[in-house]
Structure 1
């Protein structure tokens, strides 16, 4: 079981002697095995949220609960794929995948093949495109075999065609293992194609604006009437928040 609850999170940073509130009483929950997407304007605090959940950052106030137990700091319960691939430049693709407590080379080879990286096992990060580096980072994240995956724009560096393929592969992996997944994305269509539920965050300081269920069978097609309706709803919510960003600027 891996039910996650975020309660009343607030976070403020000091920026040029000015207090910058990033999160403001944020609350939400994720059930065991759910695939949840987070949408919100750029800079609203989504990555900060993941840093807090994973234990990299201590919030000003608020609590994180995992299976009804409050957790503190780095618990080892999460596999966190950040926006930057964080590959070690002196290690090959295969050796970068080995940054896991219980490394399994056969599984690593299988995952690399699954994500279109066969033949690049002995290549170094500098020899890879940005999208390929992101795929290596995803392999490394999956090899941690954690019950909860935190994915911060995992496909942001990919071209549209590769992105579509990777979305399908991620769904296959999720269907196979039923891990709990939290996905940060700026792509409304990606959220609709992948998630069971979408949380929309407000402009900074982020709080929860809306919870939008996506109770549709997979695989989904973005041209379906139901998804088009949900897309319109989400875009309307996001446009309101984006207007706040530009008005503030």
Structure 2
């Protein structure tokens, strides 16, 4: 089994006078799925970029990621319009997969994401949901041990979101890898992740950490343990001192 545990220690990042990350620390275990939840603008995407090595922290360090293959799944599909669906996958795989295995690997992941019928189509001919299926197939087909996902299900309607999340988990179970994903949706985090880190508003630190012990086959949106954990996570996100309207709770007489 490929080991890929890594640690963020005291990560600090500013843009000019704006401090975004303020000494953030967390550990991601091998082949686990970790969700990062936090308010808009708290630096979740910046944190993914630091993990991927696309940005450098001002202070702190990331240990355990150097020279490891990483794939990145964005909120937008980011497909190359001048290449067909199959060619989009081949473009990222050609230097990492033996030529004799390339077509079989592409076909497998397109079939698993129920998009194989469109392998010769160009992205502009596909719906948004179909494009995202291709993007997920491309990210999973790449032989990485770490997958970073930046709200890949956000723009999808509810039924398609659950369908793609289910298919994603099936593929992950067949070929486990370490996953870190950003989401605004506690339900999404609870259905997918092994652990959830709730981040504070900026300057951002880890506000709370939750381990999800319920086996995935038992995870339903209505499962009582998940509903209870969702309440705790939601309280962390909005702050116990605030109501859902954003105003402070009235003090007791």
The alignment's TM-score, normalised by the length of structure 2, stands at 0.88
Correspondence for 1:8: 10
Counterparts in 2 of 1:29-178, with a 5 A limit?
Answer: 29-66=27-64, 71=66, 75-98=67-90, 99-100=92-93, 101-103=95-97, 104-178=102-176
Question: Alpha-carbon deviation of 1:189?
Answer: 0.6
Cα distance per residue 1:160-202 (max 9 Å; x no partner): 1111111111111121112111111111111111111100000
RMSD (CA atoms)? 1.9
CA–CA separation in structure 2 for the residues paired with 1:48 and 1:83: 14
Q: What is the CA–CA distance in structure 2 between the aligned matches of 1:85 and 1:132, rounded to whole Å?
A: 9
- Structure 2: 5+ residue stretches without partners: 248-253
- Matched-pair contact (CA < 8 Å) for 1:3–1:29: yes
Q: Is this contact kept in 1: 2:148–2:180, CA < 8 A?
A: yes
Q: Quote the offset at 1:62 in angstroms.
A: 1.0
The count of aligned residue pairs is 236
Alignment of 1:9-24 (within 5 A): 9-14=11-16, 19-24=17-22
Q: 1:157 deviation in Å?
A: 2.2
Using the TM superposition, give the Cα deviation of residue 241 of structure 1 relative to its aligned residue in structure 2, in angstroms: 8.9
Measure the CA separation in 2 of the matches of 1:241 and 1:89: 46
- SS, match of residue 13 in structure 2: strand
Distance in 2 separating the partners of 1:76 and 1:197: 22
Give the equivalent residue in structure 2 for 1:236: 235
The Cα shift of 1:76 comes to: 4.5
**CA displacement at 1:102 relative to structure 2:** 2.5
For 1:204 and 1:196, locate their aligned partners in 2 and report how far apart those are by CA, in whole Å: 25
| SS at 1:119 equivalent | helix
Secondary structure at the counterpart of residue 106 of structure 2: helix
Kept in 2, the 8 Å contact 1:134–1:157? The answer is: no
Gap runs ≥5 in structure 1: none
